[in-house]
Amino acid sequence: MGENTEKNQIRVWCDGCYDMVHFGHANSLRQAKALGGVLIVGVHTDEEISKHKGPPVFTQEERYKMVRAIKWVDQVVEGAPYVTTLETLDKYQCDFCVHGDDITVTAEGIDTYHLVKSAGKYREVSRTAGVSTTDLVGRMLLLTREHFKRGDKEYTVALDHSSNLGTDSTARSPYTGCSQFLPTTQKIIQFSSGLSPKPTDRVVYVAGAFDLFHVGHLDFLEAAHAQGDFLIVGLHTDLEVNRYKGSNYPIMNLHERVLSVLACKYVHEVVIGAPYSVTADLMDHFNVDVVCHGATPIALDADSSDPYTVPKERSCFKILNSGNTMTTEDIVQRIICHRLEFEERNSKKEKKENIAIKAAAKKHSTQNGDCKTTKSEIA
């Protein structure tokens, strides 16, 4: 049997909350998939997450759907246990479990991977620095707390998204209170499909902010994908999105939004910083057959013109109603409504992680007679 055939038979297990699924989650699943041939992802219920770390922003149904749409995922197991068991791995015939190099603990402070670690069925991949659910919640809380009082200087900071936003600085998590995400061409290549449309393909083009990539976007992209064979998504620049959405939008910057959209299995190509108005140039360059927009309102361009004038003139513009009314603003509203719960959740999580790290470092120094401990060694 060839090396590739052998690798293809390896079944990999991952699990987590996957709340407000972001490209950090997608990147961990990409790395996990590369360790085998089939990737099975267990997603915890709302009840389990509330018990161990606080209420999730998205419901379990929304989280299951979002994980299913990540292009490296072969199967989703709904309601996977918070502490990964060997029985679960056996049930889905998985060879080992993969997790990022951060520590995940239960409400009682127990490592959720202790069983698979002791059985030698645990592998680790690098966590993507600079993005986490906790951090995104922090950015949104900042929006509610400070935004309307902000002067120009602070406004720039808010749009920069690299500062430690919205969380208790005395209890920063060593994992989620992480450094700024550094976008590289390598990361874009890893996330890209690498495909070009075939001459016979019907090319579909959509454009938007796709900020805090959510189930509303997902349902829309699924509908757009069904309109043809090759789906291109144009992403507007941060300045453009801020022009038509106002406030502190976008919550995620252009680089982050590119990776979130590229991780979606319906998307073949992304235009990074697409023109707000769909131009004849753009349509001819990509051989676009149909341009779609969802059921949400269409904001005018800076000169008050309709951004879809050209595709409308060419009779290839279509409104798609996916039936899902979720918007980025709805997510921000959910966070605002549960602001105190989330603040408490963030600070509790960070304190718990710090305690677990100190305990692991102590154990490590007793065993080795020194106190040098890396994150990977701990996790």
Nearer to ligand C5P, 6 or 329 (CB): 329
Which position among 42, 208, 234, 311 is part of the footprint of ligand C5P (CB under 6 A)? Answer: 208
Nearer to ligand CTP, 48 or 289 (CB): 48
Residue 148 DSSP symbol = G
Q: Is 131 in the site for ligand CTP (CB under 6 A)?
A: yes
CB count within 10 Å of CB 336 equals: 14
Q: Is 210 in the site for ligand C5P (CB under 6 A)?
A: yes
Q: Is 216 in the site for ligand C5P (CB under 6 A)?
A: yes
Residue 42 interaction partner, one of ligand CTP, ligand C5P, none, beta carbon < 5-8 Å per kind? none
Question: Near ligand C5P by CB under 6 A, which window of 38-46, 90-98, 103-111, 294-302?
Answer: 294-302
Q: Is 65 in the site for ligand C5P (CB under 6 A)?
A: no
Locate 213 and state its tokens.
């990539």
Residue 17 interaction partner, one of ligand CTP, ligand C5P, none, beta carbon < 5-8 Å per kind? ligand CTP
Among candidate residues 266, 282, 128, the one with its CA nearest the CA of residue 190: 128
Residue 308 interaction partner, one of ligand CTP, ligand C5P, none, beta carbon < 5-8 Å per kind? none
Q: Which of residues 110-129 bind ligand CTP (CB under 6 A)?
A: 127-128
DSSP-derived secondary structure for 180-209:
-----HHHHHHH-------TTPPEEEEEE-
Question: Near ligand C5P by CB under 6 A, which window of 30-38, 142-150, 287-295, 342-350?
Answer: 287-295
Nearer to ligand C5P, 83 or 252 (CB): 252
Q: Which of residues 62-101 bind ligand CTP (CB under 6 A)?
A: 99-100
Q: Which of residues 15-44 bind ligand CTP (CB under 6 A)?
A: 16-19, 24-25, 28
Q: Indicate the helix (H) or strand (E) that contains 306.
A: none
Residue 43 DSSP symbol = E
Q: Is 324 in the site for ligand CTP (CB under 6 A)?
A: no
Nearer to ligand CTP, 25 or 225 (CB): 25
Q: Is 176 in the site for ligand CTP (CB under 6 A)?
A: yes
Contact (CB, 8 A) for 94 and 11:
yes
210: left (phi over 0), alpha (psi -120 to 50) or beta: left
How many Å apart are CA 200 and CA 127, to the nearest integer?
A: 40
How many Å apart are CA 133 and CA 68, to the nearest integer?
A: 18
Residue 133 interaction partner, one of ligand CTP, ligand C5P, none, beta carbon < 5-8 Å per kind? ligand CTP
Please tell me whether the peptide bond between 199 and the residue prior to it is cis, using omega within 30 degrees of 0.
no
CB of 26 to ligand CTP, least distance (A): 9
CB of 28 to ligand C5P, least distance (A): 24
Q: What are phi and psi of 83, to 5 degrees?
A: -95, 120
Which position among 190, 327, 354, 373 is part of the footprint of ligand C5P (CB under 6 A)? Answer: 327
Strand partners, 11: 38
Residue 167 interaction partner, one of ligand CTP, ligand C5P, none, beta carbon < 5-8 Å per kind? none
Q: Is 102 in the site for ligand CTP (CB under 6 A)?
A: yes
State how far the alpha carbon of 374 is from the alpha carbons of 97, 120, 218, in Å: 21, 20, 37
Which position among 209, 261, 263, 283 is part of the footprint of ligand C5P (CB under 6 A)? Answer: 209
246 burial type by CB count under 10 A (0-12 exposed, 13-18 middle, 19+ buried): exposed
Locate 279 and state its tokens.
């131009």
DSSP-derived secondary structure for 247-274:
TT--SS-HHHHHHHHHTBTT--EEEET-
How many Å apart are CA 175 and CA 366, to the nearest integer?
A: 24
Total number of residues binding ligand CTP (CB under 6 A)?
17
Q: Indicate the helix (H) or strand (E) that contains 371.
A: none
Residues engaged in binding ligand C5P (CB under 6 A): 206, 208-211, 216-217, 220, 293-296, 322, 324-327
Residues engaged in binding ligand CTP (CB under 6 A): 16-19, 24-25, 28, 99-100, 102, 127-128, 131-134, 176
